[in-house]
Amino acid sequence: QVQLVQSGAEVKKPGASVRVSCETSGFRFSIYGFTWVRQAPGQGLEWMGWINVYNGDTNYAQNFQGRVTMTADTFTKTAYMELRSLRCDDTAVYYCARNSGGGYQDHWGQGTLVTVSS
Amino acid sequence: EIVLTQSPGTLSLSPGERATLSCRTSQSVTSNNLAWYQHTPGRAPRLLIYGASRRPTGIPDRFSGSGSGTDFTLTISRLESEDFAVYYCQHLGLTFGGGTKLE
């Protein structure tokens, strides 16, 4: 079955970087895209961007332009999201999700809590 | 950029009742590009509806979606205890609405 398993919780200091991984199984990784979404405490879902594994294209939300990089490793079937210059308000649960053919997200990882604190 | 506005912000109902959630877009959108998700605290979001009215395999038929243009609706015909969660609409796999908390 389709599975997306994310890396564990992280604690970072302001100004640092974090990389969250999303290891997949149960489907043909190389033909899909992956979206990253986050939820800060008490807030709603925030779309961060996506990567198309097939051609490497990326599309980042304006709020994260210049601070985020999304990559994918077809050998390990793993998607990655790196966020740099972390601020306290980047504290959130970060989710990876598989993009269906229609663009919506049909399978999700379990989420990774990233805490940014001095 | 298309803005999605969901209402109400919070909906208080009881099991067995009918829930009607609204999602309004700032511009007319293609129905194919409108989706709904359910998010229960501590769990991953779950796709409920895509293409405005289609249910993925495994989603109970008490969930239904409708609408076109700028006005879309998610209806839960008879609430069960596990349905109390936050619901989000989404356009084009990108922007989410602000969410409706069903309590």
A2-27: per-residue pLDDT in tens?
999 999 999 999 999 999 999 999 99
Q: Give the chain A residue nearest B37 (alpha carbons).
A: A105
Instruction: Give B50's contacts in chain A (Cβ within 8 Å).
Output: 100, 102, 104, 106
| pLDDT for the residue numbered B93 | 87
CA–CA gap between residue B91 and residue B33 (Å, rounded)? 6
- Nearest CA distance, A86 vs chain B (angstrom): 22
| Cα–Cα distance, A61 to B43 (Å, whole number) | 24
Residue that has been written with the tokens 């308000």 in this structure: A89
**Hunting for tokens 């700028």 — which residue is that?**
B70
Comparing C-alpha atoms, which of A30, A20, A23 is closest to residue A90? A20
Tell me the residues of chain A between 11 and 50 that have a Cβ less than 8 Å away from chain B. 35, 37, 39, 44-47, 50
Low-confidence ranges of chain A (pLDDT < 70): none
Nearest by CB to A35, from B39, B86, B93: name it. B93
Amino acid letter, residue A78: T
